[in-house]
Amino acid sequence: MIQTDKVLDAIGMACPMPIVRTKKAMNELQPGQVIEVQATDKGSLADLKAWAKSSGNQYLGTFEEGDVLKHYLRKADQSEAKEEVSFPHTLTNAELQEQLGRDDVVVLDVREPAEYAFGHIEGAVSIPLGELENRTQELDIDKEVFVICRTGNRSDFAAKQLVEKGFGRVKNAVEGMTQWDGSTEQSKA
C-alpha cells in the first residue's frame, strides 16, 4: 500500500461522481499532498488524467487491483514552479547518471511515496521531504548523497537539512525527475 495524505472511496460511483468527489477532496488538501482515489468506473482513468491536466494538478499513476482502480494525484504546488534553489552544490542529471555506478554514493528521492512508486531511479532511497527530519539516520552519513525530487525545489530544502544534520557531501540534482531520461523502475502495488 502506498502512503498518501487522503484516500477517497469512489467505488461503485458512476461518471461524473468520481471527478466531482475528487475535486471536493482536493480542495481540502494542502499543496503538494497526495490523494488516492479508489474507483470502479472504468472511465475514471481517462477522466482523472484529463482532469488533472486541465486543473494543473499532477496525475501520478494508477494501480489496478481486481475491479478497483487506485489513482494517485498530487495537488498542484505553485511555489514549486517559482522558488529559486539556493543550495550551492548541484549537479545535472547527466552528471548524476555518470556517478550512479560508484558504491560510495546514494540517491535520495524526497518526493511523496506515490510519486516515487510510479517511477524512480533504480536503487534510490525514498524518504519524503516532510519525513526527512526524523529519518536521516536511515542514510549512510559517510556516503555522498545526491538528492532528487520532481523539479529541484524539494531537493533543495532536503539538501540543506542534510548538511545541518552533519552530512559532509551532498548535492542537489536540480533538474529533477521531470527531466530524467535515464532508466527508472516502478514499485509494485
Of the candidate residues 2, 4, 8, 22, the single one contacting other proteins (CB under 8 A): 22
Contact (CB, 8 A) for 175 and 152: yes
20 scored as a contact of other proteins (CB under 8 A): yes
Q: Which of these ranges, 10-18, 108-116, 136-144, 147-155, lies near other proteins under the rule CB under 8 A?
A: 10-18
| Range list of H helices, 28-170 | 44-55, 78-82, 93-99, 113-117, 129-135, 154-164
Which range touches other proteins (CB under 8 A), out of 48-56, 81-89, 93-101, 165-173?
A: 48-56
Q: Which of 6, 29, 33, 55 binds other proteins (CB under 8 A)?
A: 55
Q: Look up 15 and say whether it is catalytic.
A: yes
Q: Is 39 in the site for other proteins (CB under 8 A)?
A: no
Three-state SS at 114: helix
**What are residue 45's phi and psi, to 5 degrees?**
-65, -55
Residue 166, SS3 per DSSP: coil
What nine digits make up the cell of 187? 514499485
Provide DSSP, 131-157. Answer: HHHHHGGGS-TTSEEEEE-SSSSHHHH
Q: Which is nearer to other proteins, 57 or 161 (CB)?
A: 57
Interface region with other proteins, contact rule CB under 8 A, candidates 19-27, 104-112, 131-139, 168-176: 19-27
Of residues 15 and 81, the one with the C-beta less far from other proteins: 15
Answer for the pair 72, 60: CB distance below 8 angstroms, yes or no.
yes
In the complex with other proteins, the residue whose CB is nearer, 17 or 106, is 17
Binder to other proteins among 54, 79, 134, 137 (CB under 8 A)?
A: 54
Considering the complex, state which of residue 10 and residue 107 has its C-beta at the smaller distance from other proteins. Answer: 10
- Please list the active-site residues: 15
